[in-house]
Structure 1
């Protein structure tokens, strides 16, 4: 029994040692668990902050997306408006080109008419000049004839013959204005 008691005491000692080891290990594990819980709590808080920042980022990106969609809609509307304007401008440009071609054709026709009129004007000026020359020649011829008639009248009046009467009549015929003044 003594042996058993000693064995039991040895077992109790071993159990106490083990109990002390287990308590020490338990203490260490409790501290490790506490540290681990604190670390996990810190990680959870960090993850929550990350989640909050990501949610804010998502909200910001959602706002940006809606703003971008609004801008896209506005840009599409502007693009449609610009396309309409472009088509109208293109049509106007085509109309202007056609009108310009018509104007060029009219200008060319007017040039032809102008050249024709200038040629006619030159011919008319030449005819007028020829007519003036003819008139001057006829006036000179008339003056020459008048001078001859007056010379003949003077010769007849100088002759002093019975033909004076006829000479006066001829003179009256040559100068009817002089005759009306004498009357």
Structure 2
């Protein structure tokens, strides 16, 4: 029995040492657990801060995306509007080119007509000059004939013959307006 007691005491001593060792390990593990929990809590807070920051960035980027989409839609609308205006301007340009060609054609026709009218005008002026010259020539010829007739009448009047009567008739023929006034 003594032997058993001694064995028991030895076992108890060994158990006490193990318990002390286990308690020390337990305390160390508790400290480690506390440190670990504290580090984990710190990491969680840090990660939560990063998550909050990233969520703020996501919200900011979402707002920017929304604004950029609105701008994109507005630019698309503006592009369509400009494309329509460009189409209308292009059509107007084509119409203007056509009208310009028509005006050039009209201008060329008017130039030809102007040159033709100028040629006719020159010809008419030439004809007027010729007619004026002819008129002057006829007036001179008429004056010359009138002078001859008057000379003949004067000669007949000087002769004082019976032909005086004929002279009056000739004078009436030469100056019919004077005769009508006397009557």
TM-score, normalisation: structure 2? 0.79
Instruction: Specify the alignment match of 1:152 in structure 2.
Output: 152
Q: Does 1:165 align with 2:151?
A: no
How far off its partner does 1:55 sit?
0.7
Q: Does 1:116 align with 2:116?
A: yes
- How far apart, in 2, do the equivalents of 1:147 and 1:23 lie? 174
Instruction: Specify the alignment match of 1:69 in structure 2.
Output: 69
Alignment of 1:53-68 (within 5 A): 53-68=53-68
Q: What's the RMSD between the two structures over aligned residues?
A: 3.1
Instruction: Specify the alignment match of 2:3 in structure 1.
Output: none
- How far apart, in 1, do the equivalents of 2:47 and 2:37 lie? 15
Alignment of 1:127-146 (within 5 A): 127-146=127-146
TM-score, normalisation: structure 1? 0.79
- How far apart, in 1, do the equivalents of 2:55 and 2:47 lie? 12
Cα displacement string for residues 10-41 of structure 1 (whole angstroms, at most 9, x for unaligned residues): xx999999988887776666555544433432
Structure 1 unaligned segments of length 5 or more: list them.
Answer: 1-11
Secondary structure, aligned partner of 2:127? helix
Cα displacement string for residues 105-139 of structure 1 (whole angstroms, at most 9, x for unaligned residues): 12112211111111111111111111111111111
Alignment of 1:85-100 (within 5 A): 85-100=85-100
Secondary structure, aligned partner of 1:161? coil
- How far apart, in 1, do the equivalents of 2:31 and 2:172 lie? 167
- How far apart, in 2, do the equivalents of 1:112 and 1:94 lie? 27
Structure 2 unaligned segments of length 5 or more: list them.
Answer: 1-11
Alignment of 1:31-70 (within 5 A): 33-70=33-70
Cα displacement string for residues 137-168 of structure 1 (whole angstroms, at most 9, x for unaligned residues): 11111111111111111121122222222212
Instruction: Specify the alignment match of 1:6 in structure 2.
Output: none
- How far apart, in 2, do the equivalents of 1:16 and 1:73 lie? 81
- How far apart, in 1, do the equivalents of 2:132 and 2:19 lie? 156
- How far apart, in 2, do the equivalents of 1:22 and 1:119 lie? 136
Instruction: Specify the alignment match of 1:106 in structure 2.
Output: 106
